[in-house]
Amino acid sequence: MATKRTYSKKTSSKRTGKALGLYSLVIVAVAAVVGVASLLGLGGDGLKNTLSEMFGSLLGEEQTVSADLEGLTKAEVTKVADGDTFTIDTGDKVRLIGVDTPESVSPTAEKNVPFGKEASDYTKSQLLGKTVYLEFDVQEKDRYGRLLCYVYLADGTFYNLHLVEEGYARVMTVPPNVAHEEDFVAAEDKAKKAGLGVWEDYENIFPE
């Protein structure tokens, strides 16, 4: 499971009031669903699934944002170029620090490999249209003008590390941005031993 970033934070009275109002609405809604379910004879898994869907719809982001990411730059992902590069709502392109996914959109056609598209599609499924939190290292941008970032999801998942853990990326260390190098290397070693993702056919996925 990917490493998550956690913090402590004082909850404001405004947010508390909002939460109480929201959960009051949930309680009323659940009571209504249970009543209707009784009339329709709905029970067991059917009732459980209905309640699950309703909770998810009503709670929305409040249900998923479990980590305090205060101090990081909040952004929305508007476009995904490949597994390790995307664009945010400011128009800036973001390059994940410390990791490298296989090529899928390289101008040099022979560098593009099927697993590159798989990694790209995975990042699209995880990031596109989502809110992310950006953390910088020593250098803010690379020579192409892209923001160099460690990226966290709303639930605290460290996405750079997650890609390595799941075998979608290999470690690519470029000093001086090395704050999480040890974590990446350790995750890569585990993924390699397990033969995950790129490590199933490394020589063909990363042709040198």
Q: Where are the domains of the chain?
A: 13-64, 73-205
Range of weakest confidence among 16-20, 35-39, 107-111: 16-20
d(CA 204, CA 200): 10
Please pick, among 118, 135, 146, 170, the residue that the annotation labels catalytic: 146
Please pick, among 5, 15, 70, 103, the residue that the annotation labels catalytic: 103
In terms of residues, how long is the chain? 208
What average pLDDT does range 197-205 have in this prediction? 91
d(CA 85, CA 95): 5
Q: Provide the token pair at 194.
A: 């397990």
Give the pairing type, strands 93-96 and 131-135. unpaired
Query: Is 103 annotated in the active site?
Result: yes
Q: How far is CA 44 from CA 29, 31, 34, in A?
A: 18, 16, 11
pLDDT tier at 5, thresholds 50, 70, 90: low
Q: What single string gives the DSSP state of each residue in 44-86? A: HHHHHHHHHHHHHHHHTHHHH--S--TTSEEEEEEEEEETTEE
- DSSP single-letter state for residue 174: B
What pLDDT shows up at residue 96?
98
What pLDDT shows up at residue 200?
93
Q: Could you read off the pLDDT of 129-167 as tens digits, one per residue?
A: 999 999 999 999 999 999 999 999 999 999 999 999 999
Query: Is 143 annotated in the active site?
Result: no
Global pTM value: 0.69
Q: Are 100 and 172 in contact (CB under 8 A)?
A: yes
Q: Could you read off the pLDDT of 43-89 as tens digits, one per residue?
A: 554 444 444 444 444 444 444 544 468 899 999 999 999 999 999 99
Query: Is 182 annotated in the active site?
Result: no
Q: How far is CA 191 from CA 55, 122, 178, 188, in A?
A: 35, 17, 20, 5
What's the mean per-residue pLDDT of the chain?
Answer: 79
The yes-or-no verdict on residue 94 having pLDDT over 50 is: yes
Please pick, among 5, 61, 76, 95, the residue that the annotation labels catalytic: 95
What pLDDT shows up at residue 1?
57
Query: Which residues sit opposite 79 in a β-bridge?
Result: 87
The yes-or-no verdict on residue 201 having pLDDT over 80 is: yes
d(CA 174, CA 146): 14
Cis ω before 175 (30° cut-off from 0): no
Q: How far is CA 138 from CA 8, 85, 91, 159, 171, in A?
A: 25, 19, 22, 19, 18
The yes-or-no verdict on residue 17 having pLDDT over 90 is: no
Locus of tokens 């170029």: 81
Q: Which carries the bigger pLDDT value, residue 204 or residue 80?
A: 80
State which CATH number among 2.40.50.90, 1.10.760.10, 3.40.640.10, 2.30.30.140 fits the domain covering 73-205.
Answer: 2.40.50.90
d(CA 159, CA 149): 10
What pLDDT shows up at residue 2?
59
| Residues of the chain above pLDDT 70, percent | 67
